[in-house]
Amino acid sequence: DAGITQSPRYKITETGRQVTLMCHQTWSHSYMFWYRQDLGHGLRLIYYSAAADITDKGEVPDGYVVSRSKTENFPLTLESATRSQTSVYFCASSEWGTNTEAFFGQGTRLTVV
Amino acid sequence: AQKITQTQPGMFVQEKEAVTLDCTYDTSDQSYGLFWYKQPSSGEMIFLIYQGSYDEQNATEGRYSLNFQKARKSANLVISASQLGDSAMYFCAMRENVFGNEKLTFGTGTRLTIIP
């Protein structure tokens, strides 16, 4: 099916473990974004990518790593999860252009215990 | 500094009334885009409306319109004849070009509750 999908939808992990959230889009959009959503903070940009092998930091990149070896995939890795990284994570994709809207995945609810 | 500011954490509006959700933004770019998204309790992000920085007319999409005041750097969302299904979180966002890359930044959101 065409679209943008995130996996897993729900994840519980322990402090200190590495965890990877997956994001896959089928539109061949140039841009992909990762956000975290926390009460009172809205959506905060973690990392974004303009194309394969091009990534850039957003507002809250510390503790996260991204890669984009293929246009359609943009995994987000928490190298050593902390409780403060408990959040809902959204991936989005869009075409080039400040006039193009972003399409969002369903979100991943991550709990770090 | 906040790029997108939404000063209304929550709003309660009577059904069928119009409602305005405030959004101000900060950018030094001349070319940028402004977006509004809706997030119902189910969690998905739904695109509502777009306004370009060079657009002279305010954008409209059905019951949604965007009150764009460029000099004030504001892009308020107006929902006419509100319905119960409009109860949701609403996010304002800005897309700007930062050193050749296009960043998409969101505000903190406004939770709108429509009262029957």
pLDDT of A98 higher than 90: no
Distance from CA of B17 to the nearest CA of A (A): 26
Q: Which residues of chain A lie closer than 8 angstroms to B53, CB-CB?
A: 98
| Mean pLDDT score of chain B | 95
pLDDT (tens digit, 9 = 90+) per residue, B7-57? 999 999 999 999 999 999 999 888 999 999 999 999 999 999 999 999 999
**Predicted local distance difference test score (pLDDT) of residue A96:** 87
Contact yes or no for B44 and A48 at CB 8 A? no
Q: B86 phi and psi, to 5 degrees? A: -80, -10
**Predicted local distance difference test score (pLDDT) of residue A92:** 98
Contact A84, A99 (CB under 8 A): no
